[in-house]
Amino acid sequence: MDPVKATVATFDKYAEQYQDKFMDYPAYTKTYARFASLLTEQHRTLLDVGCGPGNISRYLLAQHPHLKIHGVDLSPRMVELAAKNNPNHSFAVLDTRDIGQLEQTFDVIICGFCLPYLEPAEAKTCLETVYRLLNPNGLLYLSTMVGDPARSGYKENASGDGVITTYYEAKELLQMLSACGFTVCEHFSQNYPADGEEPVEDLFVFALRQ
Ligand SMILES: C[S@@+](CC[C@H](N)C(=O)[O-])C[C@H]1O[C@@H](n2cnc3c(N)ncnc32)[C@H](O)[C@@H]1O
């Protein structure tokens, strides 16, 4: 099967488990809290790319109830959960690689762990598109796994569930954002406790589209 289709099928199959683990995952929630503190009344519309079960949207809505959210994900089950977790907001099945089709622009864009499932060239196009979809003074929340790109690839577990994972060099990603026109406001990384496997480092970036 095509690795992207296989990856999305895996997320779709385990959508409830993902929701249960990551809806209130403390190490990530503190990054949402920090980002939420940068939002003002002027940030009214938000696009959540690779929204999963709508966990980040749900957190930000609790802090900023005036936000109007549109979320997209290629897994139908994730989209269903996101809609259930964020009633009165819109969620749709859409490939991250096709977000350029969206006609609306937004004050805030969230890319929470959506880049690991793209090829580096697709990630660059995605960030360029995100820049174009942001309104002036718009803010980006980006999280992704960083590390040796040689670790990247498609892996299946014993049950045959596969996921493609792309690791980026932090420096390269920050340069990519600058090349798109973003001003990086903050970035920090933290270790993700990988159960018995090689440790994983997560990078979080908050950036401004001037
Ligand atoms: C690790 S989850 C991230 C969910 C949430 N944004 C978060 O940060 O917790 C990755 C999500 O990306 C979705 N995904 C993977 N490849 C995709 C693609 N090509 N287009 C759209 N969604 C994709 C998966 O279905 C999954 O919901």
Does residue 95 contact residue 2 with C-beta atoms inside 8 Å?
Answer: no
Supply the pLDDT for residue 196.
Answer: 67
Average pLDDT over residues 177-190: 98
Average pLDDT in the chain:
96
Q: Is the CB of 49 under 6 A from ligand 1?
A: no
Number of domains in the chain: 1
Report how far ligand 1's centroid is from the alpha carbon of 52 (Å). 5
Q: Is the CB of 52 under 6 A from ligand 1?
A: yes
Q: Is the CB of 78 under 6 A from ligand 1?
A: yes
Average pLDDT over residues 180-197: 90
Average pLDDT over residues 185-199: 87
CATH number at residue 64: 3.40.50.150
Burial of 201 from C-beta contacts in 10 A (0-12 / 13-18 / 19+):
middle
Radius of gyration of the chain (CA): 16
Supply the pLDDT for residue 135.
Answer: 98
Q: Is the CB of 138 under 6 A from ligand 1?
A: no
Supply the pLDDT for residue 38.
Answer: 98
Residue-wise pLDDT tens digits, 69-127 = 999 999 999 999 999 999 999 999 999 999 999 999 999 999 999 999 999 999 999 99
Q: Is the CB of 14 under 6 A from ligand 1?
A: no
Residue-wise pLDDT tens digits, 130-172 = 999 999 999 999 999 999 999 999 999 988 999 999 999 999 9
Please give the structure tokens belonging to residue 179: 């090349």
Q: Which atom of ligand 1 is nearest to the CA of 95?
A: 20
Q: Which atom of ligand 1 is nearest to the CA of 110?
A: 6
Average pLDDT over residues 18-41: 97
Supply the pLDDT for residue 199.
Answer: 84
Report how far ligand 1's centroid is from the alpha carbon of 187 (Å). 21
Supply the pLDDT for residue 198.
Answer: 78
Select the more confidently predicted residue: 196 or 110: 110
Residue 188 pLDDT greater than 90, yes or no:
yes
> Which residues have C-beta within 8 Å of that of residue 131, sequence separation ≥ 6?
180, 181, 182, 209
> Which residues have C-beta within 8 Å of that of residue 139, sequence separation ≥ 6?
35, 38, 39, 43, 107, 108, 109, 185, 206, 207, 208, 209
> Which residues have C-beta within 8 Å of that of residue 175, sequence separation ≥ 6?
none
Domain that holds residue 162: 3-209
Percent of the chain scoring above 90 in pLDDT: 95
Supply the pLDDT for residue 197.
Answer: 73
Q: Is the CB of 51 under 6 A from ligand 1?
A: yes
